[in-house]
């Protein structure tokens, strides 16, 4: 049996894989088993932000691996402790961090933290536990993160879900206000919805949301698992909005491809958890943490500025394509998290791009999603636009 047949026979069929067997990857490029080269505009779903096999990230991870891979969280691993300090300093200098393995687990941590904080900070009539989330959101596949996810299609076979997650509409503050009650403890949002179709919050909306949370003593949780870590041109997406949440969750590109998640909490709720409240055997793995420390080193203001420059160039080119093709309904996003909303199904365009050496993705059937590594150049953009242009042209012919 070949690789594809083995996968078909032995794997639970939870993923729809494209016809690409990867042999190696470096920087913004991937090579398949036949040594065909692809420009990667997806970065493993916003994971390899500083490039595949980034040399200094690899070096840091290998050095840690040579010393030890795991010791448990019952002892001190300096790469993990240093990373915790760095992350807290960057996000909430007087806050605290908890490390997990994945994004869903980082959100589980944030949800549990909010629930305990609501227990310790009740309303006149008792415990607060309800969390306002958003329609169309995505927070992960574990049961609480899934329950916080505002997309019915993910819930279908898994009821009963965790209780007390209720859903408002993004960019509609009245829809949030209507849901606030004496049991509400937190509001949880992706500042830019990713899996929901690359839908950014407006500045006004997030400012109003922050004011609403302050007025009602609610925690504001930002899931920055997809949009954080430099993707929008700032270290965290919230920096584009001139407000600060109370909890930020990160994962995906935190360790540039090694498993790691984090929930970072501001002073207001940082000391909620005490000994025994939460834990994870492998969470904050020292190798992942060593890699992540190097990722943070790389994400300097200069690096982020460079990527922002390229993102502006890409956005303008996409706007040009929008003018040329009426099948493009909208081009939207922030930095290098961009969506091209089509009036047709985009899967044929994704396939065309793959066949022609460009890796992109399509969500909700009609939104082409671009999440390239942050190291792409204008030359890469030119190549991607050329392929996309041809793909759009062909899709018109076959319509």
Ligand X SMILES: Cc1ncc(COP(=O)(O)O)c(C=O)c1O
- Per CB under 6 A, residues contacting ligand X are 45, 102-104, 107, 138-140, 190, 194-195, 223, 225-226, 251
Least distance from C-beta 283 to ligand X, angstroms?
12
Which of residues 103 and 346 has its CB atom nearest to ligand X in the complex? 103
Least distance from C-beta 288 to ligand X, angstroms?
12
Which of residues 226 and 395 has its CB atom nearest to ligand X in the complex? 226
Q: Enumerate the β-bridge partners of residue 339.
A: 332, 369
Which of residues 100 and 395 has its CB atom nearest to ligand X in the complex? 100
> What would the 3-class secondary structure string for the chain be?
CCHHHHHHHHCCCCCCCCCCCEEEEEECEEEECCCCEEEECCHHHHCCCCCECCHHHHHHHHHHHHHCCCCCCCCCCHHHHHHHHHHHHHHCCCCEEEEECCHHHHHHHHHHHHHHHHHHCCECCECCCEEEEEECCCCCCCHHHHHCCECHHHHCCCCCCCCCEEEECCCCHHHHHCCCCCCEEEEEECCEECCCCCEECCHHHHHHHHHHHHHCCCEEEEECCCCCCCCCCCCCHHHHCCCCCCEEEECHHHHECECCEEEEECHHHHCCCCCCCCCCCCCCCHHHHHHHHHHHHHCCHHHHHHHHHHHHHHHHHHHHHHHHCCCEEEEEEECCEEEEEECCCCHHHHHHHHHCCEECEEECCCEEEECCCCCCCHHHHHHHHHHHHHHHHHHHHCC
Which of residues 238 and 352 has its CB atom nearest to ligand X in the complex? 238
Which of residues 47 and 331 has its CB atom nearest to ligand X in the complex? 47
Least distance from C-beta 251 to ligand X, angstroms?
5
Least distance from C-beta 181 to ligand X, angstroms?
26
Least distance from C-beta 195 to ligand X, angstroms?
5
Least distance from C-beta 170 to ligand X, angstroms?
13
Position with the least CB separation from ligand X:
103
Integer Cα distance of 266 and 92 in angstroms: 5
Which of residues 103 and 284 has its CB atom nearest to ligand X in the complex? 103
Which of residues 251 and 255 has its CB atom nearest to ligand X in the complex? 251
Least distance from C-beta 336 to ligand X, angstroms?
15
Integer Cα distance of 257 and 194 in angstroms: 18
Least distance from C-beta 192 to ligand X, angstroms?
9
Which of residues 104 and 388 has its CB atom nearest to ligand X in the complex? 104
């Amino acid at each position: 049996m070949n690789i594809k047949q083995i996968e078909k026979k032995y794997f639970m069929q939870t993923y729809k894989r494209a016809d690409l067997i990867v042999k190696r990857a470096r920087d913004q490029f991937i090579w398949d088993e036949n040594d065909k080269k692809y420009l990667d505009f997806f970065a493993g779903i916003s994971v390899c932000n500083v490039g595949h096999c980034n040399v200094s990230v690899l070096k840091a991870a290998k050095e840690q691996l040579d010393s030890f891979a795991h010791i448990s969280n019952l002892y001190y691993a300096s790469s993990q402790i240093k990373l915790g300090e760095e992350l807290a300093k960057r996000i909430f200098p007087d806050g605290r961090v908890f490390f997990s393995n994945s994004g869903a687990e980082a959100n589980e941590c944030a949800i549990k933290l909010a629930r305990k904080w609501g227990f310790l900070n009740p309303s006149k009539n008792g415990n607060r536990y309800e969390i306002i989330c958003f329609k169309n959101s995505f927070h992960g596949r574990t049961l609480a993160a899934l329950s916080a996810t505002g997309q019915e299609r993910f819930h279908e076979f898994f009821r009963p879900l965790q209780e007390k997650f209720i859903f408002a509409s993004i960019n509609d503050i009245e829809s949030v206000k209507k849901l606030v009650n004496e049991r509400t403890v937190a509001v949880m949002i992706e500042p830019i919805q990713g899996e929901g179709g690359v839908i950014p919050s407006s500045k006004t909306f997030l400012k109003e949301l922050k004011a609403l949370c302050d007025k009602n003593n609610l925690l504001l949780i930002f899931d920055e698992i997809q949009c954080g870590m430099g993707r929008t041109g700032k270290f965290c997406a919230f920096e584009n909005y001139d407000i600060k949440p109370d909890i930020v969750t990160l994962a995906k590109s935190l360790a540039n491809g090694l498993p790691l998640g984090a929930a970072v909490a501001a002073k207001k709720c940082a000391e909620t958890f005490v000994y025994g409240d939460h834990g994870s055997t492998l969470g904050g793995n020292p190798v992942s943490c060593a890699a992540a420390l190097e990722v943070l080193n790389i994400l300097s203001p200069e690096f982020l500025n460079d990527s922002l420059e390229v993102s502006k160039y890409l956005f303008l080119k996409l706007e040009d394509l929008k003018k040329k093709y009426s099948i493009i309904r909208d081009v939207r996003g922030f930095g290098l998290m961009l969506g091209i909303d089509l009036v047709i199904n985009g899967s044929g365009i994704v396939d065309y791009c793959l066949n022609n050496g460009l890796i992109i993705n399509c969500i909700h059937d009609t939104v082409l999603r671009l999440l390239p590594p942050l190291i792409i150049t204008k030359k890469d953009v030119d190549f991607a636009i050329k392929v996309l242009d041809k793909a759009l042209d062909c899709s018109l012919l076959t319509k």
